[in-house]
């Protein structure tokens, strides 16, 4: 059994296939104290998943299955995973969320280039963990990091979240909590289990009250990064 620290949660796990094993490698840790959770990859839930998706490899399904199990664990620790590309600038995390293909990773690539002198790097390029700790929200890298496998095992204060839409011109506006909630739910997993869903509702409610949320309409020119950065730092 290997032990991994993901979003400061100690997970016991024995990956069977290289995909999950390699993605989890940066999160390896020595067992210290009590393991928070053990995630078995051979339980009936995985067998059911394999039978339902004969078109997929067991390697991919193991990776997805463990991601789903970890999400349930994260909810119990006042956290969620948001489908987003999370970039760190000046030691703070900005999460850009959008539907697949809109260009969230392309936008954060602009931040890497335009704010290189501010120490810019990608924390996670697909599913960062956003978690409440001691009254404040932080972002973590996770092994669930998209096709490009870009993630860093760090905890960073969460500065803001922006929902990205394509536009010929660049603009950004602050969203009211009730405007942001449907967008948040669209970009995270909504569990079927009632208890987990109630946990998600509580986390989202706290998130929209504490973290600034924006709607960013942008093209892929460098100005888009500067306009977003300046507005989210006013």
CB 164 within 8 A of CB 102: yes
pLDDT attached to residue 33: 61
Q: 131-139 — which CB contacts under 8 Å span 24+ positions?
A: 131/7, 131/8, 131/74, 131/77, 131/78, 131/79, 131/80, 132/78, 132/79, 132/203, 132/206, 132/207, 133/8, 133/78, 136/210, 137/206, 137/207, 137/210, 137/211, 138/93, 139/86, 139/93, 139/95
Cα–Cα distance for residue pair 6/9, rounded to 1 Å: 5
Cα–Cα distance for residue pair 65/39, rounded to 1 Å: 10
Instruction: Give the SS3 label for residue 97.
Output: strand
Residues 177 and 200 placed together within one structural domain of the fold: yes
Domain boundary among 54, 75, 96: 75
Report how far apart, in Å, the C-alpha atoms of 85 and of each of 97, 134, 234 are.
6, 24, 22
As to burial, measured by CB atoms within 10 angstroms (0-12 exposed, 13-18 middle, 19+ buried), residue 192 is exposed
Q: pLDDT tens, 48-102?
A: 788 888 899 999 999 999 999 999 999 999 999 999 999 999 999 999 999 988 9
pLDDT attached to residue 41: 66
In this structure, what DSSP letter does residue 28 have? Answer: B
Going by pLDDT thresholds of 50, 70 and 90, the confidence category of residue 31 is low
In the predicted model, what is the mean pLDDT of residues 113-141? 97
Residues 14 and 63 placed together within one structural domain of the fold: yes
Going by pLDDT thresholds of 50, 70 and 90, the confidence category of residue 164 is very high
Range of the domain at 216: 79-231
Report how far apart, in Å, the C-alpha atoms of 161 and of each of 20, 108, 174 are.
28, 12, 10
Asked which of 18-32, 107-121, 123-137, 192-206 is least confident by mean pLDDT, the reply is 18-32
Residues 209 and 155 placed together within one structural domain of the fold: yes
Taking alpha carbons only, the member of 166, 177, 179 closest to residue 218 is 166
Cα–Cα distance for residue pair 159/212, rounded to 1 Å: 7
For residue 30, is pLDDT > 80? no
Cα–Cα distance for residue pair 197/157, rounded to 1 Å: 25
Residues 115 and 55 placed together within one structural domain of the fold: no
Residues 67 and 86 placed together within one structural domain of the fold: no
Cα–Cα distance for residue pair 193/97, rounded to 1 Å: 25
DSSP β-ladder status, 155-166 and 92-97: parallel
Going by pLDDT thresholds of 50, 70 and 90, the confidence category of residue 195 is very high
Domain boundary among 47, 75, 103: 75
Going by pLDDT thresholds of 50, 70 and 90, the confidence category of residue 146 is confident
Domain count, the chain: 2
Residues 96 and 178 placed together within one structural domain of the fold: yes
pLDDT attached to residue 42: 66
Residues 62 and 87 placed together within one structural domain of the fold: no
Which two three-digit tokens encode residue 136? Answer: 């404040």
Residues 90 and 58 placed together within one structural domain of the fold: no
Which two three-digit tokens encode residue 188? Answer: 């995270």
Cα–Cα distance for residue pair 77/61, rounded to 1 Å: 25
């Amino acid at each position: 059994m290997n032990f991994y620290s993901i979003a400061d949660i100690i997970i016991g796990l024995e990956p069977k296939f290289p995909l999950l094993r390699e993605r989890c490698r940066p999160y390896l840790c020595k067992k210290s104290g009590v393991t928070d959770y053990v995630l078995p990859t051979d339980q009936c839930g995985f067998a059911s998943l394999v039978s339902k998706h004969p078109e997929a490899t067991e390697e991919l399904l193991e990776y997805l299955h463990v991601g789903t199990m970890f999400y349930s664990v994260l909810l119990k620790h006042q956290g969620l995973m948001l489908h987003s590309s999370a970039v760190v600038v000046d030691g703070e995390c900005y999460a850009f969320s959008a539907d697949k293909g809109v260009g969230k990773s392309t936008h954060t690539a602009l931040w890497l280039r335009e704010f290189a002198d501010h120490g810019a790097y990608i924390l996670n390029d697909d599913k960062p963990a956003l978690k409440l700790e001691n009254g404040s929200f932080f972002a973590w890298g996770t092994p669930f990091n998209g096709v490009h496998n870009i993630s860093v095992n760090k905890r960073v204060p969460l500065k803001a979240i922006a929902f990205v839409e394509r536009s010929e011109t660049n603009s950004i506006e602050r969203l009211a909590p009730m405007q942001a909630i449907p967008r948040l739910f669209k970009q995270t997993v909504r569990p079927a289990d009632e208890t987990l869903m109630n946990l998600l509702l509580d986390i989202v409610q706290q998130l929209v009250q504490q973290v600034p949320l924006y709607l960013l309409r942008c093209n892929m020119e460098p100005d888009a990064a500067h306009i977003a950065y300046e507005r989210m730092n006013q």
